[in-house]
Structure 1
Amino acid sequence: MTGLPDDAAAWAMLALAAALVGFAKTGINGIGSLPILLFATVLPAKESTGALLPVLILADLFAIRFYSRHVEWRVLGRLAPWVVVGTVSGAVVLYFVDDTLMRLLLGLILLAMLGLQLWNRMRPKAVEPKPPSGLARRSLAAGAGIGAGATTMMANAAGPVMILYLMLSGFPKLRFLGTMAWFFFAVNLFKVPFSVGLGLISWYSLLMALMLVPAIAVGALVGRAVVHRVNQKQFEIATLVVSGVGAGLLILSAATA
């Protein structure tokens, strides 16, 4: 970033995005695509991925505070080397793309992640999934790790990949939330040097994130309070529709640029 936004409408949109980040980290993760879209609306698409990263890290701290006792470290250990591969691959892609192509990539990645969420919702659930073992477990960890690393580096959009992976692994709710919290905190910290090297994070990015801390905190506290009190099915359907429309608009804006 070369400067902070200078109009109230932009700050209002950024504050809403920050609150949604906090809510997604501690409540319903399915809305995690909306802050990506809001940041890409206010800022250049490529620049927005770096500007959002400090906000995500601050929100991760709230999630760790609430759910850290339930983390599954063995799963994170299996994912770690593959996430490194995916993150480095994503950084290479970011180095070569311009803002128009990045807007297109953001839209396509979000649509792909929405497709994963839809597939997970529509697949039969009459029988509880059994945790994979042996070669299947290692293959699943490799695919999820590379996919999560690449999508989080390019678009901060690895949430649906990890949701699907942990669901297929048969995680109960609290262990799911705790493992997600530590996974994204570690991965987002790992991404910082790449984002700095690519010129995506600056002192302005950090200052903006600090200014958005109150919005992050409100979102995180609300997310924790309402996660057990809402009709999650209807909420997620609405979120998928809104995110799908937003991703389509990103692709359209890239095509007409």
Structure 2
Amino acid sequence: MIEDPLFYLVAIPAILIVGISKGGMGGGLGIVAVPMMSLVISPAQAAAILLPILCVMDLFALWGFRGVYDRANLRLLLPAAFVGIAVGTLTYSHLSEAHIKLIVGLTSLLFAANWLLQRLGTQRLEARNAGPVAGRLLGALAGFTSFSVHAGGPPVDMYLLPQRLDKSLFVGTTVIFFTAVNYAKLAPYAWLGLLNTDNLVTSLGLMILAPVGIRLGLWLHHRIRDESFYALCYALLLVAGLKLSIEGAEGLL
């Protein structure tokens, strides 16, 4: 088990942020956890420690949003995500984390900027669906980036947010999506040797934070209006995209 106090000073708030995100914000905030923890440990170890905690959080989130989900979106996104996980497993030792961060970051920035320009202009924002091809591509990208750095939120947001689903329906759909994705990642993580004893014991020590973060997220979810919720989600997408783009570019230079 990791004994460095500095690690826990970073890991505890990072995990609470993930729980709040899963419990009521659609998962967008969770993208910051691995980068935060990577300040004191390697990104691969951060992802490995976080995965079992995510799996426990998912169970609490499933209960909080039980029966609330969009079946059609899940039917489109999930099979593609499993393909993305398989690609991530096979390319794990070949593609750098910097490449992944830059791809997701730039795409997120373009998407958030388009929403912001529409809000500043005169065009009325209407619900729309990007179509099945875009859904499969973004689902696969979400599976791939989720496997690599637990950063599957932005691609899923890119597909779901323009549909302007009911707030609870949006969050419930993402909860089921990421529950399936995270549990599917356990086998390849174990196969790659990431779920070793040291990482699992550290995960167990931090597991108590899972229900605390989820409860905070559920509390916030029922106190935010739909318009404020969507504005917050797009703002988080913008911040996450900027952070990932900078880290990806720095990693390649």
The TM-score with structure 1 as length reference comes to 0.82
Q: Could you tell me which residue of structure 2 aligns to residue 209 of structure 1?
A: 203
C-alpha distance in 1 between matches for 2:186 and 2:71: 22
SS in 1 for 2:165: coil
- Provide the aligned length of Structure 1 versus Structure 2: 244
> In the alignment, which of 16, 21, 36 is matched to residue 13 of structure 2?
16
Q: Could you tell me which residue of structure 2 aligns to residue 185 of structure 1?
A: 179
C-alpha distance in 1 between matches for 2:246 and 2:240: 10
* Runs of 5+ consecutive residues of structure 2 not aligned to the other structure: none
Alignment of 1:1-257 (within 5 A): 4-28=1-25, 29-97=27-95, 101-102=96-97, 104-105=98-99, 107-109=101-103, 111-112=105-106, 114-116=108-110, 118-119=112-113, 121-124=115-118, 126-131=124-129, 137-229=131-223, 233=231, 237=235, 240-241=238-239, 244-245=242-243, 248-249=246-247, 251-252=249-250, 254=251
Q: CA deviation at 1:17?
A: 1.2
> Aligned in 2, Cα 1:139/1:209: closer, same or farther, shift over 3 Å?
same
After superposition, give the CA deviation of every residue in 1:61-105 in whole Å (9 maximum; x if it has no partner).
1211111221223322222321122111111221335xxx33x23
Q: Is the 8 A contact 1:87 1:191 kept in 2?
A: yes
What one-letter code is carried by the residue in structure 2 that aligns with 1:212?
A: L
Q: Is the 8 A contact 1:54 1:205 kept in 2?
A: no
C-alpha distance in 2 between matches for 1:153 and 1:107: 12
> Aligned in 2, Cα 1:214/1:110: closer, same or farther, shift over 3 Å?
farther
SS in 2 for 1:70: coil
C-alpha distance in 1 between matches for 2:153 and 2:201: 25
Q: Is the 8 A contact 2:21 2:217 kept in 1?
A: yes
C-alpha distance in 1 between matches for 2:234 and 2:240: 10
> Aligned in 2, Cα 1:238/1:67: closer, same or farther, shift over 3 Å?
closer
Q: CA deviation at 1:222?
A: 1.3
* Runs of 5+ consecutive residues of structure 1 not aligned to the other structure: none
Of stretches 165-174 and 187-196 in structure 1, the one that deviates more from structure 2 is 165-174
Q: CA deviation at 1:236?
A: 6.5
What one-letter code is carried by the residue in structure 2 that aligns with 1:63?
A: A
The TM-score with structure 2 as length reference comes to 0.83
Identity %: 25
Q: CA deviation at 1:23?
A: 0.7
SS in 2 for 1:108: helix
C-alpha distance in 2 between matches for 1:53 and 1:117: 27
> Aligned in 2, Cα 1:156/1:234: closer, same or farther, shift over 3 Å?
closer
What one-letter code is carried by the residue in structure 2 that aligns with 1:144?
A: L
Of stretches 235-244 and 71-80 in structure 1, the one that deviates more from structure 2 is 235-244
